[in-house]
Structure 1
């Protein structure tokens, strides 16, 4: 969806109802299209939360992994030892 304009009325209602502009982006990303707009259902939230949990598990598995690059080319990838990690972080 392109840039969404926000009417003065909508800004007033959002302020009254505790909705921030950043919330709109999230609602648009995870909600379901319904007549005249978007609705965030429990099911939509649960799907989004499951995706975040999966992403966190994947990210945790990558702790200590290192990519070695030259220009725009991946040269190698490996699990960095504690000594290697300390040396790399000192530079």
Structure 2
């Protein structure tokens, strides 16, 4: 699911009280409004289908991040010149100024 624009809303005093009573956090409200679809005349709802789709998207992103952990992309003059997994300790990045690696 692509990111939807966040609704520009203000929390009333009543909403703040209910949020606290019901255990919602500010981040919960932000996420709810970013995922929700309109329901009724003025409500917004995260359906179970929307939730499952977003969970699947995030699980796939987590798997991708796990697969890329330790990987390196070498960039020269704005172009990616090579990529590798960088799984061994000799694959540490060089300092940005091109100086020697630590311990060399």
* TM-score normalized with structure 2 length: 0.71
Q: How many aligned positions are there?
A: 90
Corresponding position of 1:63: 69
The counterpart of 2:27, out of the listed 22, 25, 33, is: 22
| Alpha-carbon distance in 1 for matches of 2:80, 2:50 | 37
Q: Is the CA contact 2:7–2:34 (under 8 Å) kept in the aligned structure 1?
A: no
- The Cα RMSD (Å) is 2.1
Corresponding position of 2:15: 10
| Alpha-carbon distance in 1 for matches of 2:32, 2:13 | 19
Gaps of 5+ in 2: 1-5, 95-100
| Alpha-carbon distance in 2 for matches of 1:69, 1:27 | 38
Alpha-carbon distance change, 88 to 6 in structure 1, aligned in 2, over 3 angstroms: same
Q: Which structure exhibits the higher relative contact order, with contacts defined as CA atoms closer than 8 Å and separated by 6 or more residues?
A: 2
Q: Are residues 1:41 and 2:47 paired?
A: yes
Greater helix percent: which structure?
A: 1
Alpha-carbon distance change, 41 to 49 in structure 1, aligned in 2, over 3 angstroms: same
* TM-score normalized with structure 1 length: 0.80
| Alpha-carbon distance in 1 for matches of 2:12, 2:87 | 55
Alpha-carbon distance change, 71 to 11 in structure 1, aligned in 2, over 3 angstroms: farther
Greater strand percent: which structure?
A: 1
Gaps of 5+ in 1: none
